[in-house]
Structure 1
């Protein structure tokens, strides 16, 4: 943990486990580090980098617009693999948000990822640890050695990611209405079971 925190504080990149897949990330408040993530991954600059946090309270570090509807949705599924679009705080790097100023964030259900964010006291960039066009990875032995060489630290101890599907990405379009932008680990059925009206983009 200490080594990864020092790496993040120095503006370098890390590879670490999340509840779904291995993530490539950095301190989300450091603009140069965010740009390096996008560059190394080969990710289009128009595609915002997703974020994770380590507690509900840390949502304030990502957005200044936290409604009761947002909190209700988050409390139903966090910690866990539901990424929610929120209006990004203006001080965050531009690579984290789309042209309308929105970024996606989730409180990670992985104990190490959440604790890392809490100890850093910052949100973490959490894009999948693979080069664009390559498959995402859930096992340490499947990580690309070339990608490993480009980061400052890596955490390979269990619990490992569960694999299978990435986080589900949603946008609130009403007090209890959500639009699914990417289907993933949280199913439409689970959203409906919690009383939300769901549409799929």
Structure 2
């Protein structure tokens, strides 16, 4: 599934009219990358909204993505770099040739870097119900 990468609060409020206060508390306290699944997104392509009307989002600080979003004034759509059912790669060299051939462009950054653990995924509803989907 896809998530929306965002560069901050302003972009979040452009996509979500309502963001539960607990979302900001979770992001402030989180030590790991955290993906939030929130209700009722707007101003995004319909095909990235889940059937239940939610959208996964992550605020990123990584300089390249941050600057790209800042320049475009739009979030980025992201997914893992693997084919469904295969292991998620932890470095560029583990990404299958099929994936690399299937994309329009590969950014020449971080090819030697090994990824950390996957993000924590937390689903929040507008009435502040919290469900941890992955720690």
Separation in structure 1 between the aligned mates of residue 112 and residue 65 of structure 2, nearest angstrom? 11
Shift of 1:118: 2.1
Q: 2:39 aligns with which of 56, 65, 87?
A: 87
Structure 1 residues not aligned, in runs of 5+? 1-47, 184-201
- 2:20 and 2:124 in contact (8 A); partners too: no
Q: 2:104 aligns with which of 137, 152, 155?
A: 152
- Aligned with 1:98: secondary structure? coil
Matched, 1:67 2:20: yes
Show the 5 A alignment for 1:1-201. Answer: 48-77=1-30, 81-158=33-110, 162-172=114-124, 178-183=130-135
Separation in structure 1 between the aligned mates of residue 120 and residue 86 of structure 2, nearest angstrom? 19
| TM-score, normalised with respect to structure 2 | 0.80
Separation in structure 2 between the aligned mates of residue 76 and residue 86 of structure 1, nearest angstrom? 18
Count of residues in Structure 1 that have an aligned counterpart in Structure 2: 134
Shift of 1:101: 0.9
Shift of 1:136: 1.4
- 2:2 and 2:78 in contact (8 A); partners too: yes
- 1:81 and 1:168 in contact (8 A); partners too: yes
RMSD, matched Cα: 2.5
Structure 2 residues not aligned, in runs of 5+? none
| TM-score, normalised with respect to structure 1 | 0.57
Residue deviations 1:107-146 (CA, integer Å, cap 9, x gap)? 1243322222222211111110111111112322222122
Separation in structure 2 between the aligned mates of residue 107 and residue 85 of structure 1, nearest angstrom? 12
Change over 3 Å in CA distance of 1:116–1:130 after alignment to 2: same
Residue deviations 1:145-182 (CA, integer Å, cap 9, x gap)? 2211121111132386542421111023665x632112
Tell me which stretches of 4 or more aligned residues in structure 1 moved more than 4 Å: 159-162
